[in-house]
Amino acid sequence: MTDFLQGLNDVQRQAVLATEGPVMVLAGAGSGKTRVITYRIAHLIRNVGVSPQNILALTFTNKAAGEMRQRIDGILERGSASSLWIGTFHSVFARLLRSYIHLIGYDRNFSIFDADDSKSLIKQCMKELNLSPETLPVNLVHSAISKAKNSFVLPPEFHRKAIDDQSQKVSLVYERYVHKLRENNALDFDDLLIKPIELFTEHPAVLEQLQGYFKYLLIDEYQDTNRVQYLVAKMIAAQHQNIFVVGDDAQSIYSWRGADITNMLNFNDDYGDAQVFKLVDNYRSTKTILDAANSVISRNTRQIKKELVANSGMGEPITLIEAFNEKREAEKVADHINSIRLSKGAEYRSFAIFYRTNAQSRVLEDMMRQNRIPYKIFGSVSFYKRKEIKDAVAYMRLVLNERDSESLLRVINFPPRKIGDVSINKLKEFAEERNMSLYEAVVHANEGGFQSRLVNALTGFASLIEAMRQQAEAGTVYDVLSMLYETTGLLSLLKEENTPESLARHENLQELLSMTRDFADHNHDAATLGDFLATISLASDYDETQESDNYVSLMTVHAAKGLEFPVVFVTGMEERLFPLNSYEPGELEEERRLFYVAITRAQTKLFLSWAQSRYMYGQPQMCLRSTFINEVDPDLIVTEGGRKLSESPTKVSASAMAGRPVFGSSLRPQPGRPSAKVPTVKPAGSARPTGAAKSEYRPGTRVQHAIFGPGTVLDVQGKGPKQKVKINFRNAGEKTLMVQYANLKVVG
């Protein structure tokens, strides 16, 4: 047996060596599950003699896939992992579908619609069905449809099960949406998983072929697979049963996306005589961190009890940071980073800052910049979601897939070609009449009886697309994009505008261009336009890591899953933020699992921080410390002063506060239930007061604010629910607040 297996403990090694038949590794955080998968693949190749292309490994993110490939390369010779199939469910099946999708009536150059594209298509469907987004929010429809798809509930079944009025409406949209996707020759994210099932069902020969090809199937983070993923995996493994899954039910944090722990719980029933291995040694964190994690997760009722034992000593205590507001919180985080760097010589890359919602990143980001701490935000506004990038990509999508009307509509008047709504509607009518796609209608514009001005604009557009198409056939992706930039003058337009925003866009477009270069360099055999588009459709900001760069990582807790950092800050530990407003006990348990994930990312030092007040929707809100902090053994926590929490004067916990009046604060404005202290707000509308408002505020009025303290009104703007007051606070300076939310108390 080869020596790399030395890097495993006994149970891990057994799991690696059990190469045949169904195997599940069920174990807590940091117990080396991912290592087992990695080594098992290396073992299959090196010792069992399996050819890399016969192994399919599915991960949760592209980043995890990249890292796994790298590590396997590290164990074996360089390049031996290159023909392995490693990727997310989505990227692997997108690639496979390109070879087979013609069998189920799509063109191989199908477009992949991201969430924004899907929503815009849904909006269109709703418009056609006369459903107003006010009564039925697009986001809700989108998530309902996506949830259905992820549970493999297709429109007919959805329709049958739709009882209440709302789901019946959703059902109508769903049906039309699916239809339109097909018209666009497009798949949305969920289709990338559903279409393989359709394909396998309708063409069993294809399934058989793939079953013979993917002789070994391995799945990481199995606890977060959804029903469709489960079904696809089952189909592929049906013959040989060589399915190997690893996961931790305590880290299931994607149930809102259809992830279903029962996939894990039923593994034994689904695959007869499956072997199950449990790893108990944690190699990542200090005992302190692990004890904290264990005490938190033990509060969940729905869980498989698992042992998890530290392999190192207690280490440093957990530090609780309490701050006046979120700015101060961020400042303190920055201070701690600098002081640890100086005292311990830690690199920036050793630090990670986590938060529950993306909105929290802004303040942290500002503070990092102010303190000249290099940082990188993962997620937030993805590069690929930027308008200019989406526009450029839409052009390329249309070039590849002329039925992609979604993309056509996006760029037909960008840059402006004087083709406005009116013209577009005419074009749509014409297309409908002739039963053509929008692009075909554009090509045949001269037969549409349009004004010659419009015909010219449309033909000009068509010839650009046609020229790009020829370029795509003859040249590289780089050539196609260059042609777009040159013909439309996109870059020079932005340069001329010469605002900071336009220059940033200019830079982004340049960046996209250099990405096409890199892409050609890295994928010699598969560098067509289609390959490029498929890759970037499924890529996200979360994927990039450059080991060489040295920066502090900022990300949501969700994005942190699977990662580890020596020093971790979990910020925003406040009631209603983390845990985020949860109404059902099940949701609270998922929040708790999320907290468990956050804690267990830390190797040597953990900070938990919270702020007494925080701006939300531009208004300061009082915050209470998260109950989650009370779920950690107070002996493990010290305050910034170094005092043990268990010995500190008892903090009033959020639960003890519940029901008790807190001065001047409802945590957030409660719609339709104004707190008694809020100055009564007159309903907007016909009875709007005119003339000098009978406001309780006048310049000079002395007021008290829950957070900013005492102050004097300087100015009153507007009236009614939108009334704002400018106040000079004794300690906090000048602020303009909305009366409705400010919870001001008039004093004196």
Ligand X SMILES: Nc1ncnc2c1ncn2[C@@H]1O[C@H](COP(=O)(O)OP(=O)(O)OP(=O)(O)O)[C@@H](O)[C@H]1O
Annotated binding-site positions:
27-34
Catalytic position from the list 220, 281, 402, 574: 220
| Integer Cα distance of 533 and 400 in angstroms | 9
Amino acid at 158: F
Known catalytic residue at 601: yes
Q: How far is the CB of 564 from ligand X (least distance, A)?
A: 6
| Integer Cα distance of 608 and 597 in angstroms | 13
Say how many residues touch ligand X, by CB under 6 A.
19
| Integer Cα distance of 546 and 224 in angstroms | 26
Nearer to ligand X, 598 or 739 (CB): 598
Binding range to ligand X, per CB under 6 A, among 1-9, 116-124, 334-342, 439-447: 1-9
When CB distances are held under 5 to 8 angstroms depending on the partner's kind, the choice from ligand X, DNA, none that residue 681 binds is none
Near ligand X by CB under 6 A: residue from 30, 317, 530, 669: 30
3-state secondary structure of 211: helix
Known catalytic residue at 319: no
Cβ pair 713, 742 in contact under 8 A: no
Cβ pair 236, 217 in contact under 8 A: yes
* All residues at 6 or more sequence positions from 546 whose CB lies less than 8 Å from its CB, including other chains: none
Q: Is 8 in the site for ligand X (CB under 6 A)?
A: yes
Residues lying near DNA in the complex (CB under 7 A)? 60-62, 88-91, 114-115, 137, 139, 189-190, 253, 256-257, 356-359, 379, 413, 416-423, 538, 540, 542, 555-556, 558-559, 580, 587, 615-618, 684, 736, 738
Catalytic position from the list 114, 117, 221, 224: 221
Q: Is 283 in the site for ligand X (CB under 6 A)?
A: yes
When CB distances are held under 5 to 8 angstroms depending on the partner's kind, the choice from ligand X, DNA, none that residue 586 binds is none
Near ligand X by CB under 6 A: residue from 23, 35, 122, 391: 35
Cβ pair 267, 274 in contact under 8 A: yes
| Integer Cα distance of 85 and 69 in angstroms | 9
Q: How far is the CB of 30 from ligand X (least distance, A)?
A: 4
Nearer to DNA, 417 or 505 (CB): 417
Show the site string, 590-619: x = touches ligand X by CB under 6 A, - = not: ----------x-------------------
Tell me which residue has tokens 């239930």: 673
Catalytic position from the list 601, 614, 625, 719: 601
Helices 227-237, 191-202: inter-axial angle, 10-degree rounding:
40
CB atoms within 10 A of CB 109: 20
When CB distances are held under 5 to 8 angstroms depending on the partner's kind, the choice from ligand X, DNA, none that residue 607 binds is none
Near ligand X by CB under 6 A: residue from 24, 33, 193, 243: 33
Structure tokens at 208: 């058989």
Q: Is 171 in the site for ligand X (CB under 6 A)?
A: no
Q: How far is the CB of 67 from DNA (least distance, A)?
A: 13
Q: Is 34 in the site for ligand X (CB under 6 A)?
A: yes
Percent of residues in the chain assigned helix, strand, coil, to nearest 5: 50, 15, 35
Catalytic position from the list 12, 33, 227, 229: 33
The DSSP string of 589-626 is HHHHHHHHHHHTTEEEEEEEEEEEEEEETTEEEE--B-
Cβ pair 214, 236 in contact under 8 A: yes
Q: Which residues are annotated as a binding site for ATP?
A: 27-34
CB atoms within 10 A of CB 277: 18
* Residue 117 CA, distance from chain mean position: 16
Q: How far is the CB of 34 from ligand X (least distance, A)?
A: 3
Nearer to DNA, 420 or 661 (CB): 420
Structure tokens at 414: 């960008």
When CB distances are held under 5 to 8 angstroms depending on the partner's kind, the choice from DNA, ligand X, none that residue 60 binds is DNA
* HSE-CB for 317 with a 13 A CA cutoff: 18
CB atoms within 10 A of CB 1: 10
Q: Length of the chain, please? A: 748
When CB distances are held under 5 to 8 angstroms depending on the partner's kind, the choice from ligand X, DNA, none that residue 229 binds is none
Q: How far is the CB of 652 from DNA (least distance, A)?
A: 25
| Integer Cα distance of 221 and 228 in angstroms | 15
Known catalytic residue at 33: yes
Near ligand X by CB under 6 A: residue from 4, 9, 543, 715: 9
Near ligand X by CB under 6 A: residue from 562, 572, 669, 711: 562
| Integer Cα distance of 391 and 416 in angstroms | 12
Q: How far is the CB of 261 from ligand X (least distance, A)?
A: 14
* All residues at 6 or more sequence positions from 26 whose CB lies less than 8 Å from its CB, including other chains: 246, 247, 248, 249, 264, 276, 277, 278, 304, 306
Q: How far is the CB of 382 from ligand X (least distance, A)?
A: 23
| Integer Cα distance of 596 and 29 in angstroms | 9
When CB distances are held under 5 to 8 angstroms depending on the partner's kind, the choice from ligand X, DNA, none that residue 162 binds is none
Ramachandran bin of 684, using left for φ above 0, alpha for ψ from -120 to 50, beta for the remaining angles? beta
Cβ pair 653, 630 in contact under 8 A: yes
Q: Is 248 in the site for ligand X (CB under 6 A)?
A: yes
Catalytic position from the list 34, 59, 612, 627: 34
When CB distances are held under 5 to 8 angstroms depending on the partner's kind, the choice from ligand X, DNA, none that residue 8 binds is ligand X
3-state secondary structure of 669: coil
Amino acid at 695: S
Known catalytic residue at 453: no
Cβ pair 247, 264 in contact under 8 A: yes
Catalytic position from the list 61, 211, 229, 251: 251
Known catalytic residue at 220: yes
Near ligand X by CB under 6 A: residue from 11, 23, 29, 41: 29
Q: Is 277 in the site for ligand X (CB under 6 A)?
A: no
Q: How far is the CB of 277 from DNA (least distance, A)?
A: 27
Q: How far is the CB of 524 from DNA (least distance, A)?
A: 24
The CA-based diameter of the chain, rounded to the nearest angstrom, is 90
Nearer to DNA, 412 or 481 (CB): 412
Nearer to ligand X, 306 or 505 (CB): 306
Which residues have a catalytic role annotated?
33-34, 220-221, 251, 601
- Residues interacting with ligand X, by CB under 6 A? 7-9, 12, 27, 29-35, 248, 251, 283-284, 562, 564, 600
